[in-house]
Each structure stands twice: as C-alpha cells, then as structure tokens.
Amino acid sequence: MELDDKRFLDTLEESTLFYFDIFNFDGYDRFGNMIFEDLKYRLTSRSSVEFPETDIASFEGAMFREGLHTRYVVYGIFKNEPTLIKRVDSSSVNPFKEEIKPAELNIPASVSLLIASKNTIKDSQIAAVENNSQTTTVSAQNQDMRLIIIACFRESYFEESMMQNYYNDLSELDYYKANGWVRIYLKDFPGYRIYEAIEVFPDAWRANYGE
C-alpha cells in the first residue's frame, strides 16, 4: 500500500515498560534483542482481531526514558482515508417544477381511508423489521464467545506464578499455549464483555482459543 499521501495516515501502537530497565510484567525479555519484534507480533495479532479492515503498511519502533524506567513502543502505520459522499448536483433539479401539496388534491373519502389503512400496515412492517434488526444485533453480540486475553508471555519465559499478578474480581484465570506464546485469559468471561475487562486490563483483546 502506498503512503505517499500523508493526509490520511493513522497509527496503532503496542508498548511495554521495563522497570529499572530490568523488570517487565508483560513477558518481554530486553536482553534477547527481540522486544520490537515481539511488540510487532502482538500488535499484528491484536489488529487482525479488533481491526480486521486495517491494512498496516509499515512499522516504526521507539524507546522513551521515563525516569528510571524505559518504555518500548511499536507503531503500526496505516492509511485511514475517509469515505467520500457523493454530492447532489443542484443543477439537475428542475427549478420550474411545481410542487403539489397533498392539501390541494381532492381525494375521495373512501380513497383516503384506503391510503390511511395501507400506511398503518406499512408502519407496522417497518417497526417489525427494526425490532428484528435490534434483536439480531443483540443476539450476535451475545454470541461473541471469544476469549479475552489480558497478558502474553514467551513460552520459554512463562511460569504459572506470574498469573498471581493478574488476579482480579472479574473472573478466574487460565492460559493456553500457541506458536511459542502463552496467553493468559479470563475464564468463563465471554468476548462481548470486553469493555468490562478493559476497565481493569486496558491492554486486553479478544481472540479465539489457540490463536
């Protein structure tokens, strides 16, 4: 994807903090020289789940000093061009066309009654469609049973004792292994409750088991 047009560039980011340049609670190893690659992998995984239509064109890494600590950040740069709305050409409107108001028409009482009856039926059908649409939306939301991931560690680095740092009042914890990673998730806490989880774990994201 070309990024020559700088007007519509946007970014996603993933970061981690090393306390005193040594301790890290996200499972990253600063001495392995893989921090930026690991952050890039996590950002790509989260983007594919939460922003599937986002096409990241490039990545940039940065390191910031925060007192005695160091923050590593990876930015995913993508093009976020707004959808253009076609403007109505006012020149195509006939300025000489006379508008006929319903009050000016002499409609028989029997015809008016028939029209009113049809309008009532039409309104009922529209209300039924809207209710069905709302029910479908709620149902689809309630069917989002993906896991909510709250932490991710390299499999070689992970120890079960690390889970103690994530005990919470929302749910019990569990974990699974996938592609060299260990992901800690909220047990029996479905994906559609992601916004509740984010209030406690701001970096939480959703994924299917095994991803």
Residue 13 pLDDT? 87
Tell me: the pLDDT tens digits for 104-121?
A: 555 566 556 666 766 676
CA distance 208 to 211: 6
Q: And the tokens for 192?
A: 């559609």
User: If DSSP codes are grouped into helix, strand and coil, which group holds residue 59?
Assistant: strand
Residue 4 pLDDT? 56
Q: Which of 148, 143, 153, 155 lies closest to 170 in space, CA to CA?
A: 148
Tell me: the pLDDT tens digits for 160-173?
A: 898 888 989 888 99
Ordered by start, the domain boundaries in the chain are 1-82, 144-211
Report pTM: 0.37
Residue 70: CB atoms within 10 A of its CB come to: 19
| Cβ atoms of 192 and 141 closer than 8 Å | yes
